């Protein structure tokens, strides 16, 4: 529990939320600024800011809970698909510093969401190889 964390306060029922699913380690809530109808956030009950700090047990629990919620979204709202989005760090666009997975039901072209419209262009293979080697060295 982190005192000033809004999601910890939701977990502990200090502030309200539309709770959709919960188990011992995970909680799924309706996003109050839904990008599309049925936008859900799935979070660990234990505080961890990002993927890099999450414990292996909580990673497993939150992703298993996300699968259950995604199945319920497909059954109840019947979207064309579900985008899974997870941001780490302010530079990546993370606003609430308590790990969470966004489940965003998609119905293109009706929903007209722009967040996945990056340009696909071939990379420089030498640069890709060099970067891959640099990452590998960090394990
Ligand atoms: P982030 O950019 O950190 O990945 O996304 C944070 C998400 O949390 C946003 O989609 C935002 O709408 C949602 N959010 C922020 N405050 C609250 C809140 O008090 N309750 C709920 N249910 N969602 C929130
Ligand atoms: Zn927290």
Angstrom distance (rounded) from CA 112 to CA 47: 33
Q: Where are the domains of the chain?
A: 6-137
User: Following CA atoms 96, 100, 101, 105 in sequence, which dihedral angle do they give, to the nearest 10 degrees?
Assistant: -60
Query: How many A from CA of 6 to the centre of ligand 1?
Result: 9
According to DSSP, residue 90 is labeled G
Ligand nearest to the CA of 51: 1
Model pLDDT for residues 99-109, shown as the tens digit of each residue: 999 999 999 88
CATH hierarchy code of domain 6-137? 3.30.428.10
| H helices present in the chain, as ranges | 6-11, 56-77, 125-136
Whole-prediction pTM value? 0.95
Q: What is the pLDDT of residues 33-84, one digit of tens each?
A: 999 999 999 999 999 999 999 999 999 999 999 999 999 999 999 999 999 9
Report the separation in Å between the CA atom of 131 and the middle of ligand 1, taken as the mean of its atom positions.
Answer: 33
CA nearest ligand 1 atom 18, residue: 32
């Amino acid at each position: 529990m982190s005192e000033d964390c809004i999601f910890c306060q939701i977990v502990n029922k200090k502030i309200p939320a539309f709770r959709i699913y919960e188990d011992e380690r995970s909680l799924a809530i309706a996003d109050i600024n839904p990008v599309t109808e049925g936008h859900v956030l799935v979070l660990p009950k234990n505080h961890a800011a990002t993927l890099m700090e999450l414990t292996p047990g909580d990673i497993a629990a939150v992703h298993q809970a996300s699968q259950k919620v995604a199945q319920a979204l497909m059954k109840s709202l019947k979207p064309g698909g579900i985008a899974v989005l997870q941001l780490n760090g302010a530079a990546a666009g993370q606003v609430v510093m308590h790990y969470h997975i966004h489940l965003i039901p998609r119905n293109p072209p009706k929903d007209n969401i722009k967040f996945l419209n990056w340009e696909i262009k071939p990379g420089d293979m030498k640069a890709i190889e060099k970067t891959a080697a640099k990452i590998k060295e960090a394990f």
